[in-house]
Amino acid sequence: MKQLWATKSIDKIMKDTGELNAMKRTLGPVNLTTLGIGAIIGAGIFVLTGNAAAQYAGPAIVLSFVISGFACAMTGLCYAEFASMIPLSGSAYTYAYATLGELIAWIIGWDLILEYLFASSTVAVGWSGYVVSFLKDFGVIVPAYLSNATGTSLLQLPDSGQWVVASAGLVSDLVSKGLNPDVLPHMSAIINLPAVFIIGMLTILLVIGISESANFNNVIVFIKLAVVITLICVGYAYINRENWTPFIPENTGTFGEFGWSGILRGAGVIFFAYIGFDAVSTAAQEAKNPQRDMPIGILGSLAVCTILYILVSLTVTGMVSYKLLAVPDPIAVAVDAAGPGLMWLRPFVKIGAIAGLSSVILVMLLGQPRIFYSMAKDGLLPKSFTKIHPRFKTPFIPTIVTGVIAGIIAGTFSINILGELVSIGTLLAFTIVCLGVLFLRYRRPDIPRAFKTPWVPAVPILGAGFSIMQMLALPGDTWVRLIIWMALGFVIYFLYGKRNSLLRDK
């Protein structure tokens, strides 16, 4: 039992950082900030905004972003203190090991695997949808059975002969036209091939090197920021204020379906889009001056993205009724609704979405192997995960393992289940980080802190409280999946991690 609560001293962590750091320190504050923006701006703006508005909050999705942004600001301040104090790869896992003990560190590490591994797969599915739509505009058709999750039901439309997903909305539409969907040709999708493709290409890029990956990310971030800002500026002229009425749709009588409970559930669902600053902290061991640069990267990227999220959600729900946004490409729908005057913007929106989602996948695939690396350094995972490529100086084995598993998940599962699972995993990680800062302030006030979270204990308590509140607002089946995932983690820890821990018997 003593080992379960054993902590790895910060002095030992810092010593390991100096002696064992075989990774290149190539990232400055600009790269770290764009790394965070690369992770944050993507699925949240291009996919989740519309879906959360249509299903949960209506135009008040803006308030959902405010709630999530506030929780992230509180958590981001806590992350910044930890990252400046413990500049080591591993993110919240390393912080928990230094403050709350090995068992809690394992829990958060296993939870982060859920967060990053499934997040990269989730966004790859969204990337696939936009790429298929973009190629279709140029007459290139990717077969539906090769661009949807394994087992997805497809049917052939009688007029065009096109195979499409047999969604509830499509079936209802066919029935309203007097057609019987049951007599139409049916088939099941085999694999989402574009999603597997992008995971494979970015995995290769990450094996080659972190600086090359960061430069690639910088270019993508510039492209998607240009598209998002253009949408905000140009779309303002096409806003119909009637689409904002009622701003908070009346609750249907079910918790989470509009009203204030819908705003809260919307905040929990779209929280998936805010995990970028967490990914910044996983690159601490490759930062040039982590004590100074990590807080800049974390808080800078969070501030920029929160403002853009609020402005985009206002613009999109003003351009088109929120009821029409339950689609994979809500921004494209909003542009279409504006009429011929904005049709020139449609291809640029898709390019921005593809670029934006690409950078999110890149950052998620970058963060996961470095968590594997840190856990393996402590003996909780196989030692092979600590090997650094002799030429590229990257943790190539966990990077390849991450890419293979993420590719399988992206090719076989749909985006809905994965997205909610990532959100609850992220919120759990944020809760532990906030509590860790509070715990360490009272337990070890003597530790040098290059950046100190202001207004303690209010900030960490608010960060943890808002995270827990959003977790409780998520659907019950999401909690069931989280419990199953964590139970599997406990089995692995007690069968392998605990026996091979470097803190064993200490």
Q: Which residues of 80-103 are buried (b: 16+ CB within 10 A; e: fewer)?
A: bbbbbbbbbbbbbbbbbbbbbbbb
Judged on CB neighbours under 10 Å (0-12, 13-18, 19+), 242 is exposed
Question: What is the four-CA torsion angle of 94, 105, 421, 201, rounded to 10 degrees?
Answer: 40
Q: Say which amino acid occupies 182.
A: D
Judged on CB neighbours under 10 Å (0-12, 13-18, 19+), 355 is buried
The two structure tokens encoding residue 21: 């750091």
Residues 6+ apart with CB under 8 A from 1: none
Report d(CA 15, CA 9) in Å as an integer.
10
Q: How far, in Å, are 2, 369, 379, 487 from residue 504 at the CA level?
A: 9, 24, 9, 22
Partnered with residue 187 across adjacent β-strands are 154
| Three-class DSSP category at 287 | strand
Q: Which helix (H) or strand (E) holds 78?
A: helix 61-85
Q: Hey, what domains does the chain have and what are their CATH numbers?
A: 3-14+28-150+190-500 (1.20.1740.10), 155-188 (no CATH)
Report d(CA 120, CA 401) in Å as an integer.
13
DSSP string for 130-187? HHHHHHHHTT-PPPGGGBS-TT-EEEE-TTT--EEE--HHHHHHHHHTT--GGGS-EE
Report d(CA 297, CA 294) in Å as an integer.
5
Report d(CA 357, CA 12) in Å as an integer.
38
Beta strands in 322-467 (DSSP E): none
Q: How many other C-beta atoms are found inside a 10 Å radius of the C-beta of residue 126?
A: 27
Which stretches of the chain drop beneath a pLDDT of 50?
19-20, 22, 90
pLDDT at 123: 85
CA 148 centroid distance within chain: 20
Residues 6+ apart with CB under 8 A from 88: 13, 14, 16, 17, 94, 284, 285, 374
Q: Say which amino acid occupies 185.
A: P
pLDDT at 90: 47
DSSP 56: I
pLDDT at 483: 92
Long-range contacts of 203-208 (CB under 8 A, 24+ apart): 203/365, 203/399, 203/400, 203/402, 203/403, 203/404, 203/406, 203/407, 205/362, 206/362, 206/365, 206/366, 206/369, 206/394, 206/399, 206/403, 207/389, 207/392, 207/394, 207/396, 207/399, 207/400, 208/392, 208/394
pLDDT at 20: 45
Condensed to tens digits (0 to 9), the pLDDT of residues 362-409 reads 878 887 887 888 888 888 988 888 888 887 777 888 889 999 999 999
pLDDT at 281: 66
pLDDT at 222: 81
Report d(CA 385, CA 377) in Å as an integer.
8
pLDDT at 328: 63
The two structure tokens encoding residue 312: 């985009």
Condensed to tens digits (0 to 9), the pLDDT of residues 397-437 reads 888 999 999 999 999 987 767 777 888 888 888 888 888 88
The two structure tokens encoding residue 225: 């920021």
Report d(CA 148, CA 133) in Å as an integer.
13
Contact 154, 188 (CB under 8 A): yes
Contact 393, 27 (CB under 8 A): no
DSSP 498: H
The two structure tokens encoding residue 387: 């090997």
Report d(CA 233, CA 197) in Å as an integer.
34
Q: How many other C-beta atoms are found inside a 10 Å radius of the C-beta of residue 417?
A: 15
Report d(CA 9, CA 488) in Å as an integer.
28
